[in-house]
A and B are shown apart, each in its own frame.
Chain A
Amino acid sequence: MQAYIIRRLLALIPTLFFASVIVFVTVRMIPGDVIDLMLSQNDIAAAKMGREQLEKALGFDTPMWIQYGKWVGNILLHGDFGRSLWQNTPVGEQLMARLPITFELGLMALFFGLLIAIPIGVYSAVRQDSGGDYVARSFSILMLAVPSFWIGTMVMVFPSIWWGWSPPMQFVSFTADPLGNLSQMITPAIILGFSLSALTMRLTRTMMLEVLRQDFIRTAWAKGLGENLVVMRHALRNALIPVVTLIGLQAPLLIGGAVIMEQIFVIPGMGLLLLDAVSQRDYPIITGVFLIVGVAVMVINLLVDLSYGLLDPKVRYR
């Protein structure tokens, strides 16, 4: 098991290398680079210096592979993600401040997503073709079809029109005011959770239907078990294995959704940081965020693979 985890972590290195090269190069190829932007904004300091000097000051005068080497070297040797091109603040500090907020939002969304998807998926399978099943299935199609940013916007707009209520806008951190923080995060987390739940619900239903037809379920009935035990003890565990895979595959979706939700609900997480950085072409921040997101996605998938071992006794890690 330990050897397996270590090997999986080592395997992350080449993946991360390629991901970082792609991110590093592509952000610099977005039309309209940061120098253009600085010069066009009547930045006094920039105007004084001119393009060439500016490039030199920001370190863009060397070939790109040297810039990349410096960037990676600083991260590996000093844990230094560089500095913001505009504010000159350390990117690492910003990431550390924003990461927990996005992490919290993602975790809450995942929690609500599963809380919605699994019970409804199970119900839908056990009462196949009942009215409730149809409602649940239509609901899941709806959730697949309606983008979460639209729901988010509606939630921002209509309650305030009808009842003069809107989600709290002034962000409070979890450590300062846990309840205030949760009440602020819960709306975007539920919306994000809904959009995540659609596929999970469908897969849970399909897998449950599949498992409920198996011979060992008949054995469970033949033992005299009631429906609850047959479903919860004998069927669900077997049905959840592919569902867990899907959750891993949805991790990037979750992060992408969090970026949008943060924008709508003004939550100062990585998403908001990234959005600002992209519009300002603040390369160190963009690459930093992507790197963290990449690591997060890979770690989530590693956790998913490890969780198979809990659900499926046939899986042994060697």
Chain B
Amino acid sequence: MNTPLLSVRNLSTRFRTERGTVRAVDNVSFDVAPGETLAIVGESGSGKSVTALSILRLIPDPPGKIESGEILFDGKDLLKLDDEGIRAIRGDRIAMIFQEPMSSLNPALTVGLQVGEPINLHRKTVWAKALDKAAELLGKVRIPDGRSRLGSYPHQYSGGMRQRVMIAMALACQPRLIIADEPTTALDVTVQAQILALLKELTRETNSAMILITHDLGVVARYADRVAVMYGGRIVETAPARQLYKTPRHPYTRGLMASVPRLDGDTERPLVPIEGQPPDLASLPPGCPFAPRCKDVTERCRIERPPLFESGPSHLSACFYHERLAA
């Protein structure tokens, strides 16, 4: 494997809350190769969004704080950069797409300004040229008649169109890495596929890598090269997408798959929900975070925290019984 574009090592991010310190991200490590799409999957509260925000140091401090770890991007540790250094990365080398297209665009500024802004900022391009580029970008994300739409405002757009604007904004400086935090969750089902296909196509065109944060395993199957499953602030399994589908090696991943309807498989197969509640990060059990909900739990799981075991070629699983699960 060639050198990774992004290499996250032992990242821990905590939040101070009224109920004590919460480790939203606990000792998380993963790599993203150039041009690769990594999906981070998990329930809400699993720490996937916090991981994404930590990479660009967008965690609101206070109450949040990146406690420890390294985030190596092109060999540079983003956590060691000064404010100016990280600002030069944001929006230029690494861009972000957020979940809520309704509230993530500024209601008082024109679409043209918002899309052209990163170009004006990072490329030191004069506004007239930046707006030309913005019109071009709007065309790329299939917003017809981009030039005449530069002066329009977000409220004049539908949700899907706004997310296209967000994508245009993210692509403005041809970033090496795009972090898409649940880019389609807030959209109509019919629009979701369009947006993801567009995102995939455009990242392929510019050979950008992508981190796709989602709770939707269906999305993962189609668009990701590799998957990291997060639970309780930790990565519990990571594998190439196909392999994860074929041979999930963690009970949580299995549970997730059993609970998602699949149109391509056996439609008679009953859906099996994962019993219990997502873990409370403020009071995680000492052992495996999934232990309270796991069907195959043993005494060891409750006491000892499982590390990530090598469970196949570039396949890691944080389950003591990952080998047994392979069967």
| A216→B107 contact, CB < 8 A | yes
Among B28-36, B69-77, B96-104, B213-221, the one that faces the other chain is B96-104
| B106→A314 contact, CB < 8 A | no
CA distance A221 to B87 in the complex (A): 8
Kindly state whether residue B197 has any CB partner on chain A within 8 Å: no
Which B residues are in CB contact (< 8 Å) with A234? 106, 109
Q: With A215-B98, A313-B153, A313-B155 given, is the CB distance from A225 to B87 under 8 Å?
A: yes
Which B residues are in CB contact (< 8 Å) with A311? 108
Main SS at interface, chain A = helix
Which A residues are in CB contact (< 8 Å) with B107? 216, 238, 312-314
Among B114-122, B246-254, B313-321, the one that faces the other chain is B114-122
Q: Could you say which of B88, B91, B153 contacts A222, with CB atoms under 8 Å apart?
A: B91
Nearest CB in chain A to that of B169: its residue = A223
| B108→A238 contact, CB < 8 A | yes
CA distance A214 to B108 in the complex (A): 13
CB distance from A204 to the nearest CB of B (A): 16
Kindly state whether residue B56 has any CB partner on chain A within 8 Å: yes
CB distance from B59 to the nearest CB of A (A): 10
CA distance A281 to B89 in the complex (A): 72
Kindly state whether residue B26 has any CB partner on chain A within 8 Å: no
Kindly state whether residue B95 has any CB partner on chain A within 8 Å: yes
CB distance from A88 to the nearest CB of B (A): 56
Q: With A313-B153, A314-B155 given, is the CB distance from A224 to B87 under 8 Å?
A: yes
CA distance A204 to B195 in the complex (A): 38
CA distance A226 to B91 in the complex (A): 12
In which size bucket is the chain A interface? 20 to 34
Which B residues are in CB contact (< 8 Å) with A215? 98, 100, 103-104
Which B residues are in CB contact (< 8 Å) with A312? 107-108
| A224→B105 contact, CB < 8 A | no
Kindly state whether residue B126 has any CB partner on chain A within 8 Å: no
Kindly state whether residue A237 has any CB partner on chain B within 8 Å: yes
Kindly state whether residue B92 has any CB partner on chain A within 8 Å: yes
Which A residues are in CB contact (< 8 Å) with B169? 219, 223
| B87→A218 contact, CB < 8 A | no
| A237→B108 contact, CB < 8 A | yes
Which A residues are in CB contact (< 8 Å) with B271? none
| B104→A218 contact, CB < 8 A | yes
| B108→A222 contact, CB < 8 A | no
Most chain-B CB neighbours within 10 Å: which of A223, A225, A226?
Answer: A223
Q: With A224-B121, A234-B109 given, is the CB distance from A218 to B92 under 8 Å?
A: no
CA distance A234 to B91 in the complex (A): 16
Q: With A215-B100, A215-B104, A218-B58 given, is the CB distance from A223 to B91 under 8 Å?
A: yes
0/1 string, B283-295, CB within 8 A of A gives 1: 0000000000000
CA distance A224 to B96 in the complex (A): 11
Nearest CB in chain B to that of A220: its residue = B106
Kindly state whether residue B90 has any CB partner on chain A within 8 Å: yes
CB distance from B275 to the nearest CB of A (A): 33
| B155→A222 contact, CB < 8 A | no
| A314→B91 contact, CB < 8 A | no
Kindly state whether residue A233 has any CB partner on chain B within 8 Å: yes
Which A residues are in CB contact (< 8 Å) with B89? 224
| A222→B96 contact, CB < 8 A | yes
Nearest CB in chain B to that of A212: its residue = B60
| A224→B90 contact, CB < 8 A | yes
- Interface residue ranges of A94-142 to B (CB < 8 Å): none
Which B residues are in CB contact (< 8 Å) with A233? 109
CA distance A43 to B88 in the complex (A): 83
Which A residues are in CB contact (< 8 Å) with B109? 233-234, 237
Nearest CB in chain B to that of A236: its residue = B108
CA distance A21 to B109 in the complex (A): 46
Which B residues are in CB contact (< 8 Å) with A220? 106
CA distance A216 to B109 in the complex (A): 11
- Interface residue ranges of A172-221 to B (CB < 8 Å): 214-216, 218-221
| A224→B155 contact, CB < 8 A | no
Which A residues are in CB contact (< 8 Å) with B103? 214-216
Which B residues are in CB contact (< 8 Å) with A222? 56, 58, 90-91, 95-96, 98
9 tightest CB-CB pairs across the interface, nearest first? A224-B90, A223-B91, A224-B91, A215-B103, A313-B153, A222-B96, A216-B106, A237-B108, A215-B104
Instruction: Provide a sorted-by-A list of 7 A–B residue pairs whose CB atoms are within 8 angstroms.
Output: A219-B106, A219-B166, A221-B58, A222-B95, A224-B118, A238-B108, A314-B155
Q: A215-B98, A222-B91, A222-B96 are in contact. List 20 more A-B contacts (CB 8 A).
A: A216-B107, A218-B98, A219-B104, A219-B106, A219-B166, A220-B106, A221-B90, A223-B95, A223-B118, A224-B87, A224-B122, A225-B117, A229-B121, A234-B106, A237-B109, A238-B106, A312-B108, A313-B107, A314-B153, A314-B155
